[in-house]
Amino acid sequence: KNQVEQSPQSLIILEGKNCTLQCNYTVSPFSNLRWYKQDTGRGPVSLTIMTFSENTKSNGRYTATLDADTKQSSLHITASQLSDSASYICVVSAFPGYALNFGKGTSLLVTP
């Protein structure tokens, strides 16, 4: 069964600090992995999309890594801001239909 597990479930950090969110998956055969940011009561917004051949992808202060061999991904947030408070969702697609497999998300709270 294709699964996507995220950790931690929730995280509280001080403004300006860095943090790393984890995503482990068993989706096979792997097509691509996406990280989304979802503000409360809003739809998810794409941060990064990575294929099998990509190890790292950045989007501003967000850097995603992918290890396709161990089926692990991480999302690193640098110099956190209050606006980073949101849920971060890892989504993995598998061939052939490219159906999306969603993680349950990590809820991040950045405090002053």
Q: Which two tokens stand for residue 103?
A: 């993680």
Question: Which residues, other chains included, contact 85 with Cβ-Cβ below 8 Å and sequence gap of 6+?
Answer: 108, 109, 110
| The only residue of 19, 30, 64, 105 in contact with another protein, by rule CB under 8 A | 105
For another protein, which is the closer residue by CB, 61 or 104? 104
What gap in Å lies between CA 12 and CA 105, rounded to an integer?
A: 14
Candidate residues 21, 24, 30, 34; the one interacting with another protein per rule CB under 8 A: 34
Residue 31: φ, ψ to 5°: -110, -60
Q: Does 28 bind another protein (CB under 8 A)?
A: no
Angle made by CA atoms 18, 72, 30, in degrees to the nearest 5: 135
Residues in the chain: 112
Q: Which of 29, 69, 98, 112 binds another protein (CB under 8 A)?
A: 98
Q: Is 104 in the site for another protein (CB under 8 A)?
A: yes
Nearer to another protein, 68 or 100 (CB): 100
* Residue 70 Cβ vs another protein, minimum distance, rounded to whole Å: 21
